[in-house]
Amino acid sequence: MPINLETPKKHRTLVDQAHQVAMNMLRPISRKYDRAEHAYPVELDMLAAMIDGLAESGRTEGAGAAGVRRDDDPPGGDGVRNGTNLASVLSIAEMCWGDTGLLLSMPRQGLGNSAIASVADEAQAARFAGVWAAMAITEPGVGSDSAGIRTTARLDGDDYVIDGEKIYVTAGERCDAVVVWATLDASLGRAAIKSFVVPKGTPGMTVERLERKLGIRASDTATLRFDGCRVPKENLLGSPEVDVKQGFAGAMATFDNTRPLVAAMAVGCATAALDLTRDLLAEAGVSVDYDRPAQNQSAAAAKLLQLEADLESARLLMMQAAWLADNRRPNSLEASMAKGKAGRVGSDVTLSCVELCSSVGYSEVELLEKWARDSKILDIFEGTQQIQQLIVARRLLGLSSAELK
C-alpha cells in the first residue's frame, strides 16, 4: 500500500485554519496564561464551541480527539485512507505552533477523550460524547512503567470500587470526567489493567492539589485521590474480561493513538521555535544557503540545518504513525518511534534555539524560553524517551517485556 507523507489536499484547509487560530488566538494570550498559572483561559470556550460545531457538522475531520479503532472496516480494495488520525496530528502540530499549554487546556480535547475514542464500545462512545475527559495513569512511584499500576478496581454488585492515587493528571481539575487506569487483580499483571470513566463530582474522588510546573502552565495538572470511589460497571471501557494471553494490548491501544498526538505537540512547538530563530538570525545577518554543504557555512547556519533535518525526521515519523492508524494497520512500533524521536528532537530544537539567539532567547523578550520549558514535558508524559526506546527494541527484536527490561 503506497504512503505519501505530504499533507493531503483534503486536510489543507483544516491545517490552514488551525494555523490561523494558533497565530491569532493562541499566540496573543500565550504569555498571559504562562504567568497566570492555574487561571482558566476563558478565551478557549469560544474556540472549543467552534471545533465542536465543525465536528458535529461533518465539515471537517480531525476537529476532535480521535481514536485508533481496529474493529472498523478497512478501506475497500487497494484504496488509501487519509482520515481522522492524520488530520488530528496535522492540526495539533499547528495549534502547538501557537501554544502547547493552551492546546492541552482545550475543553473536550483531552487525552482521556482519545482513550474513550480508542477503547469504548459504541454505547459508551455515545454516552460519553461531549464529555471533557482527562487521563489518569501516573502514580507515586509508578511513572513510565504503566504496567506497575497499583490503583485497584474491585467489582461490588453493579459498581466498581476504585482506590488509589494518581498524579500529574492533565486537566484533572477542569475536566468533566477522568479516565482512570486501575488493576482488577494485581496478581495477573498487565492483563488486568483496565480504564474506567469517573465523572467529576463522584463521591470518593478528590483533587488533592494542583502542581506548579516548569512549562505548559496554562494547563492545570492535578493530583487525584480515590477512596472507595464507586462507578457503574458500565463505565469500564471496553471488555471487562481479563485475557492473560492478550496481556496489555487493550490498554496499549490507547497509547497507539495518543503517542502520535504527543509527537505532533512536540513537532508544533519545535517548529515555532525554529521559525522564529530563522527570522531572528536573518535579521542578525546570518543567512542559510541550502545549496552549499553545512561545513562551508557559519556555525549558526550549520546548526540551523541540522535542527531542520532532525525536525523533519520527527514530522515524517509522526505522519507515518497516524497514516497507519487511519488505514487500520498496526502502528504500535511506529507510534513509539514517533513519540520518542519527536520528544527528544523537540527539547533539543527549542533549547538550541534559545542558545542560538543568546540573550534574546534566554529572556522574555520572545517566546523562545517558554517554548523550551513547554517542550520538556513532551519528552516525558505518555512514556519517556527511554521507555519508547525500550518498546522499539522489544518490537524489533521480538522480545517480551520480561525478556528485555
pLDDT, tens digit, 9 for 90 and up, residues 278-295: 999 999 999 899 999 999
The pLDDT, as a whole number, for residue 78 is 53
CB-based contacts of 301, cutoff 8 Å, min separation 6: 281, 286, 287, 288, 289, 294
User: Mean of the per-residue pLDDT values for the chain?
Assistant: 89
What is the Cα–Cα distance from 160 to 123, expressed in whole angstroms?
19
In a domain, 208, yes or no: yes
Together in a domain, 273 and 390: yes
Could you give the number of structural domains in the chain?
3
Domain of 315, CATH number, reads 1.20.140.10
In a domain, 359, yes or no: yes
Q: For 291-347, what is each residue's pLDDT tens digit?
A: 999 999 999 999 999 999 999 999 999 999 999 998 889 999 999 999 999 999 999
Domain of 135, CATH number, reads 2.40.110.10
What is the Cα–Cα distance from 271 to 100, expressed in whole angstroms?
12
Torsion angle (degrees, nearest 10) of CA 361, 268, 43, 210: -80
Given a cut of 90, whether residue 239 has pLDDT beyond it is: no
Give the active site residue among 122, 312, 382, 403: 382
Together in a domain, 119 and 138: no
The pLDDT, as a whole number, for residue 244 is 62
In a domain, 1, yes or no: no
Given a cut of 50, whether residue 62 has pLDDT beyond it is: no
In a domain, 113, yes or no: yes
Together in a domain, 86 and 222: no
Percent of the chain with pLDDT strictly greater than 90: 71
Residue ending a domain, choose from 124, 146, 180? 124
Together in a domain, 272 and 217: no
Q: For 211-221, what is each residue's pLDDT tens digit?
A: 999 999 999 99
Together in a domain, 120 and 144: no
The pLDDT, as a whole number, for residue 63 is 38
Given a cut of 50, whether residue 224 has pLDDT beyond it is: yes
Together in a domain, 227 and 196: yes
In a domain, 3, yes or no: no
Contact 105, 210 (CB under 8 A): no
Together in a domain, 171 and 276: no
Domain of 33, CATH number, reads 1.10.540
Together in a domain, 171 and 40: no
Q: For 63-104, what is each residue's pLDDT tens digit?
A: 345 454 545 545 454 566 778 889 999 999 999 999 999 999
Given a cut of 60, whether residue 240 has pLDDT beyond it is: yes
Residue ending a domain, choose from 176, 210, 235? 235
Given its phi and psi angles, is residue 310 left (phi above 0), alpha (psi -120 to 50 degrees) or beta? alpha
Nearest of 221, 211, 218, 173 to residue 35 by alpha carbon: 218
Contact 89, 260 (CB under 8 A): yes
Together in a domain, 89 and 192: no
Percent of the chain with pLDDT strictly greater than 70: 90
Backbone angles phi, psi at 344, to 5 degrees: -70, -45
Residue ending a domain, choose from 179, 209, 235? 235
Residue 326 lies in domain: 249-397
Together in a domain, 298 and 392: yes
In a domain, 331, yes or no: yes
The pLDDT, as a whole number, for residue 241 is 85
In a domain, 327, yes or no: yes
The pLDDT, as a whole number, for residue 15 is 94
Backbone angles phi, psi at 79, to 5 degrees: -65, 155
Query: In this structure, what C-alpha cell is assigned to residue 149?
Result: 499500576
**382 among known catalytic residues:** yes
Together in a domain, 91 and 19: yes
Q: Residues 135, 252, 247, CA angle at the centre, nearest 5°?
A: 125
Query: In this structure, what C-alpha cell is assigned to residue 245?
Result: 494471553
Given a cut of 90, whether residue 118 has pLDDT beyond it is: no
In a domain, 243, yes or no: no
Q: For 342-380, what is each residue's pLDDT tens digit?
A: 999 999 999 999 999 999 999 999 999 999 999 999 999
Together in a domain, 293 and 219: no
